[in-house]
């Protein structure tokens, strides 16, 4: 059989009538997406300790500043092998 130029079958079901749906807004989250919003899931115990994003950000800033004060240990010189 020779294959002709057939149009692709429309596989969207008739009950999915997007034109009749209300509340849909094109590009609703585009601004947040472009801003680089990150989503991080934390354990429930940590979520209780940090009730909002401001608390998490403050704690992470403290950790970042503390890490700048601590110098990593120097590696021991490796003996040369032949």
- Asked whether residue 69 carries a pLDDT value surpassing 60, the answer given is yes
64, pLDDT greater than 90: yes
In a domain, 62, yes or no: yes
- Domain containing 59: what range? 43-69
Residue 73: the pLDDT is 79
The pLDDT of residue 55: 93
- Residue 10: its pLDDT value, please? 67
Q: 3-class secondary structure for 2-67?
A: CCCCCCCCCCCCCCCCHHHCCCCCCCCCHHHHHHCCCCCCCCHHHHHHCCCHHHHHHHHHHHHHHH
* Tens-place pLDDT, residues 18-63: 777 777 778 888 888 888 767 788 899 999 999 888 999 999 999 9
Total domains present in the chain: 1
- Quickly state the pLDDT bin for 4 (edges 50, 70, 90): low
Query: Is 34 inside any structural domain?
Result: no
Q: Is residue 64 part of a domain?
A: yes
């Amino acid at each position: 059989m020779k294959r002709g130029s057939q149009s692709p079958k429309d596989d969207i079901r008739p009950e999915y009538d997007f034109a009749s749906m209300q509340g849909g807004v094109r590009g609703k989250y585009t601004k947040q997406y472009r801003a680089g919003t990150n989503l991080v899931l934390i354990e429930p115990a940590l979520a209780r300790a940090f009730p909002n994003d401001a608390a998490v950000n403050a704690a992470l800033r403290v950790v970042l500043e503390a890490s700048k004060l601590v110098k990593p240990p120097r590696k021991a010189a490796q003996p040369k092998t032949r």
